[in-house]
């Protein structure tokens, strides 16, 4: 699954290249990212506990009405989906006790403190929503608050993660965009491969290739780094199209190839491109043909309509127009898992990691 940690790693690779240094490993970045997300999740949970504590008791003199479901509780599985049993976190109470309304909250805290490789791309939001839905005004339970672990990631865990990453291979694309002061996004580089790449090496390679070798743009300078955002798309589910319209806008990316004047051309658009541009499927195909190097036809998808009336494997002829020289048109649809992160998000995470006094800063900057 693509996560913001992969985008942070791309930022690390690009930033390190400007300093002629080696970036931290992807395993370290993923480990620190997961710990940062867990810290944010626990902070959100504690905030809800404090709010619950400050809420007047139902047993007080005020009348807040009645509820027929006062004793209703949630099963553990209703709190976090696909969670594993965490360890016990019973610690000595410090200060006044916190109160919440969920008997199984200890398990939730155990889940948040355990490392999971199936974290979603927006775990802090999903955790906060799960916490809000789980809290109620019934069955008060007093529990101690467990603190985020201050221990640095163990070498054994990072080593195990590194081995796991070596077994993960994906076709992938890395995209760099610039974000203007008014929030406008502009493409600054996008290069990838349909050949499966070992994730860490593929990310590093294409983060730099996309930044420096996209011939549509000049190489990205260090001065542009603060205005960048990064997106990673992991590709899969490749299927041949019956024709060039056999795909779904917003769901599929499209890869085409064709022969024009004795030469084969090819190009691709990732799944989100057509929707972001507001194109129809026919406009997308024609734009993709032009991206590949084909120069015939007009605009508005008219050429694509003429092309698509014939078989995907048959050249057209008769009118002498440039598109009549296109033969052996082929299309493949695919899907992608995408994650994105801005420079500001990367810096927020980095500041948190650098602020830890337990060795995490040294993991993030191996050259220091």
Q: Is residue 155 part of a domain?
A: no
Q: Is residue 314 part of a domain?
A: no
Residue 38 in any domain: the answer is yes
Nearest Cα to 245, choosing from 258, 260, 256, 234? 256
With respect to residue 61, please indicate whether it lies within any of the assigned structural domains: no
Comparison of pLDDT for 40 and 362, the residue scoring more: 40
Residue 284: inside a domain, yes or no?
yes
Quote the pTM value: 0.66
Residue 15 located in a structural domain = yes
Q: Is 330 exposed, middle or buried (0-12, 13-18, 19+ CB in 10 A)?
A: middle
Q: What is the DSSP letter of 172?
A: E
Give the range of the structural domain holding residue 14, as residue numbers without chain letter. 4-46+167-298+322-364
Q: Over the stretch 148-203, which tens digit does the pLDDT of each residue have?
A: 444 454 666 767 766 777 778 999 999 999 999 898 999 999 999 999 999 999 99
Side-chain half-sphere CA neighbours of 195 within 13 A? 3
Structural domain total, the chain: 1
Whether 294 is in a domain gets the answer: yes
| 3-state secondary structure (DSSP) of residue 298 | coil
Is residue 161 a part of any domain in this protein? no
pLDDT, tens digit, for every residue of 195-229?
999 999 999 999 999 999 999 999 999 999 999 99
Percent of the chain with pLDDT over 90: 45
The backbone torsions φ and ψ at residue 163, rounded to the nearest 5 degrees and listed phi first, read -65, -40
């Amino acid at each position: 699954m693509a996560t913001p940690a992969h985008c942070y790693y791309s930022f690390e690779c690009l930033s390190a290249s400007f300093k002629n240094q080696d970036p931290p490993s992807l395993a370290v970045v993923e480990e620190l990212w997961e710990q940062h997300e867990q810290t944010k999740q626990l902070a959100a949970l504690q905030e809800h506990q404090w709010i619950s504590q400050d809420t007047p008791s139902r047993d007080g003199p005020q009348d807040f009405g009645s509820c027929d479901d006062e004793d209703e509780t949630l099963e553990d599985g209703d709190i976090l989906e696909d969670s594993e049993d965490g360890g016990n976190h019973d610690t000595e109470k410090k200060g006044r006790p916190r109160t919440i309304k969920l008997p199984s909250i200890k398990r939730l805290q155990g889940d948040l403190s355990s490392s999971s490789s199936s974290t979603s791309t927006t775990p802090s939001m999903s955790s906060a929503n799960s916490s809000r839905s789980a809290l109620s005004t019934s069955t008060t339970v007093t529990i101690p608050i467990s603190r985020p672990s201050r221990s640095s990631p163990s070498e054994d865990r990072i080593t195990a993660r590194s081995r796991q990453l070596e077994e993960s291979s994906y076709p992938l694309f890395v995209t760099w965009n610039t974000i203007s002061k008014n929030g406008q996004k502009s493409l600054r580089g996008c290069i990838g491969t349909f050949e499966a790449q070992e994730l860490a090496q593929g990310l590093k390679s294409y983060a730099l290739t996309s930044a420096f070798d996209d011939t549509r743009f000049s190489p990205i300078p260090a001065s542009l780094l603060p205005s960048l955002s990064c997106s990673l798309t992991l590709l899969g589910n490749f299927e041949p199209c019956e024709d060039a319209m056999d795909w779904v806008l917003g769901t599929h990316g499209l890869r085409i190839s064709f022969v024009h004047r004795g030469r084969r051309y090819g190009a691709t658009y990732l799944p989100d491109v057509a929707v972001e541009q507001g194109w129809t499927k026919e406009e997308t195909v024609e734009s993709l043909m032009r991206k590949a190097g084909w120069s015939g036809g007009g605009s508005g998808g008219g050429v694509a309509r003429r092309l698509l009336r014939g078989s995907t494997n048959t050249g057209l002829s008769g009118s002498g127009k440039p598109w009549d020289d296109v033969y052996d048109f082929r299309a493949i649809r695919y899907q992608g898992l995408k994650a994105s992160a801005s420079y500001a998000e990367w810096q927020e995470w980095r500041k948190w990691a650098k602020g830890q006094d337990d060795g995490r800063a040294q993991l993030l900057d191996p050259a220091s």
